[in-house]
């Protein structure tokens, strides 16, 4: 299967590396970063491009843009892994629409377009008979979309509860384990590279809320939007609150939860028993699905990381290859 890769940040490089390393039947025929691009219908030498990117910061020809690659390259599936813009979803949404209109499958790790334009992108994919997959947008390496689609096929999903932001989970773990204040734990998270210079997006629960919106739309198709999420962050939590929870055999986690019967969609710090499967340490993500037949199913894994996110992208690509594209 021929693929075009748009975006060569941490995730894009991870995907390229895995495609080059593993014998997956995938050939990259187009590639682009934010400034340059490369098209070769016979297949691009990925190792060479990655070396060039590392050395020069660029992957190809400054006269070829990402839009050129998407419009002109010969590929079956577009891998869209440019940075998330949570406000407009652009330019990624436009990239995806162009590819879908060309009857190309789309695989993305980009939360913005999926949270903002799910219905439209899904409809466009269906109209053109191609796949639109976004496993990597929620909970990194955890195959949550595959589980919803196949593993729990036939189940009604009644509700979900998740730890969807690794940065917050790290901060809360450190506050609980070491009695740190929020500020101390945040500083530690920054030093470890788990938190951005401006941590708003993570600690105020925006990132978790975006993922919750993607999950809710996927499961219930109910058209919820980011503004519908009742959201409280962890930035006002005190070390005392955590200590009190610990004294009762509990702890506090930033829980994203949705339950359509209760008209509930919320991200907030919750007190939770320490033995609950959702309580995991450090930057791990976890998600519990409450279903009618399987009852509670919990998945735990890494929510971020270059190769971990590439795992989700590659799972989507192989699924498309298996389902839609004739094997040679």
Query: According to the binding rule CB under 8 A, does residue 303 interact with its own copies?
Result: no
Query: According to the binding rule CB under 8 A, does residue 108 interact with its own copies?
Result: no
State the pairing for strand pair 264-273/230-231.
parallel
Among 87, 293, 326, 327, binds its own copies (CB under 8 A): 293
Q: How far apart are CA 315 and CA 185, in angstroms?
A: 34
What is the number of other CB atoms lying within 10 angstroms of the CB of residue 263? 8
- Residue partners of 257: CB distance under 8 A and separation at least 6: 159, 160, 161, 162, 212, 264, 265, 266, 267, 270
Query: According to the binding rule CB under 8 A, does residue 40 interact with its own copies?
Result: no
Give the E-state strand segments of 99-201 in sequence order: 105-108, 132-133, 157-163
Query: According to the binding rule CB under 8 A, does residue 272 interact with its own copies?
Result: no
Stretch that binds its own copies, among 17-25, 62-70, 75-83, 182-190 (CB under 8 A): 17-25
Among 22, 54, 127, 243, binds its own copies (CB under 8 A): 22
Stretch that binds its own copies, among 79-87, 162-170, 228-236, 286-294 (CB under 8 A): 286-294
Start-to-end CA span in the chain (Å): 9
Query: According to the binding rule CB under 8 A, does residue 74 interact with its own copies?
Result: no
Query: According to the binding rule CB under 8 A, does residue 67 interact with its own copies?
Result: no
Q: Which residues pair with 39 in a beta bridge?
A: 30
Query: According to the binding rule CB under 8 A, does residue 27 interact with its own copies?
Result: no
Largest CA distance in the chain: 63
For the segment 137-166, give every residue that binds its own copies (CB under 8 A).
141-143, 146-147, 150-155
**Taken in order 255, 210, 33, 100, is the CA torsion positive or negative?**
positive
Query: According to the binding rule CB under 8 A, does residue 179 interact with its own copies?
Result: no
Minimum CB distance to its own copies, residue 89 (Å): 26
Confirm if 301 and 142 have CB atoms less than 8 A apart: yes
Catalytic residues: 211
Minimum CB distance to its own copies, residue 14 (Å): 8
Nearest residue (CB) to its own copies, 232 versus 324? 324
């Amino acid at each position: 299967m021929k693929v075009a890769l748009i975006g060569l940040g941490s995730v894009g490089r991870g995907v390229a590396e895995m495609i080059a390393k593993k014998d997956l039947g995938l050939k990259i025929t187009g590639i682009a970063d934010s400034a340059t691009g490369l098209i070769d219908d016979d297949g691009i030498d990925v190792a060479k491009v990655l070396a060039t990117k590392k050395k020069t910061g660029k992957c190809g020809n400054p006269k070829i843009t990402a839009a050129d690659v998407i419009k002109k390259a010969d590929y079956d599936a577009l891998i869209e892994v440019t940075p998330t813009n949570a406000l407009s979803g652009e330019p990624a949404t436009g990239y995806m629409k162009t590819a879908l209109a060309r009857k190309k499958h789309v695989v993305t790790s980009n939360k913005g377009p999926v949270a903002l334009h799910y219905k439209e992108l899904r409809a466009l994919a269906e109209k053109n008979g191609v796949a639109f997959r976004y496993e990597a947008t929620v909970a990194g390496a955890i195959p949550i979309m595959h589980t919803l689609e196949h593993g729990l096929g036939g189940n009604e999903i009644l509700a979900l509860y998740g730890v969807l932001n690794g940065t917050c989970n790290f901060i809360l773990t450190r506050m609980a384990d070491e009695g740190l204040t929020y500020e101390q734990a945040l500083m530690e998270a920054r030093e470890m590279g788990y938190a951005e210079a401006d941590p708003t997006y993570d600690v105020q629960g925006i990132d978790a809320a975006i993922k919750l919106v993607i999950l809710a739309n996927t499961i219930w198709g109910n058209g919820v939007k980011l503004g519908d999420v009742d959201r409280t962050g962890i930035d006002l939590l005190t070390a005392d609150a955590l200590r009190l929870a610990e004294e009762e055999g509990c702890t506090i986690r930033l829980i994203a939860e949705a339950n359509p019967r209760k008209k509930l969609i919320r991200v907030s710090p919750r007190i939770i028993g320490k033995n609950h499967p959702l309580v995991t340490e450090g930057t791990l993500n976890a998600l519990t699905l409450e279903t009618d037949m399987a009852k509670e199913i919990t998945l735990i894994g890494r929510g971020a990381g270059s190769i971990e996110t590439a795992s989700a992208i590659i799972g989507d690509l192989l699924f498309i290859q298996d389902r839609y594209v004739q094997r040679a």
